[in-house]
Amino acid sequence: MLANNEQLNLDLFEDAHRWPRKPYCSVDKTASSIRTLQHALKRPYIQANPPHLRVWSIFDVDQPAAALAWEKGNLPPPTWAAVDRQSTKGHLVWGLSVPVLVDSPDMRQEPMRYLCAVEEAFRAKLEADSGYAGLMTKNPAHPLWRVLRGPRLAYELGELAEWVDLPKHLPKRKPEEIGLGRNVTVFEWLRQYAYRNVRHYK
């Protein structure tokens, strides 16, 4: 169950390793500035996940009463929900107790595919925006948003998987095609297309 907390949720930032050292931040949804975490906390929007890691699993629920979408979808309470005070649309966030490496030559494909499958299943249950890339989120420490807190800071990925039905065999497609957002998928498709066709344009 989520609890209303009108005070700044600065305790979410006590473990600095769970946040970028110099995150993107802005007054709107664009990643317009890079600041220290201390200064970024003053902006309404912030980059939550450090480079190459998924520490927070974030979903953009573009419908009223977004903070209750987890109940409707029969999911565990999120770590926090930050919603617009007027439209009540917002972001739901689940912390991961063990971060997943998502972009590195050293990353293992299996955890990445597992993460993508779980996030895709959560996205479907929440009826969340499939095109949301997850880079910028509503800053839970900013007073512009109404922030509701869940009972836990983080879940093991396996715990979250127990709340959804996953395919018996994880998809063979590349990880970026099964849950990292439409922008990433388009970029990867275009990159591979360019590699195959660059000689025709020389």
Find where tokens 């009540």 sit: 88
How much of the chain, in percent, has pLDDT values that exceed 90? 66
User: What residue segments make up the domains of the chain, in order of their start?
Assistant: 3-201
169 vs 13, residue with greater confidence: 13
| Statement: residue 170 has pLDDT above 90 | no
Is the distance from CB of 135 to CB of 24 less than 8 angstroms? yes
Rounded to two decimals, what is the model's pTM? 0.83
pLDDT tens track for 101-118? 987 666 678 888 899 999
| Statement: residue 179 has pLDDT above 50 | no
Residue 59's pLDDT is 98
Residue 26's pLDDT is 96
How much of the chain, in percent, has pLDDT values that exceed 70? 77
Secondary structure E strands in the chain? 3-4, 24-26, 33-34, 45-47, 53-61, 80-84, 90-101, 136-138, 145-149
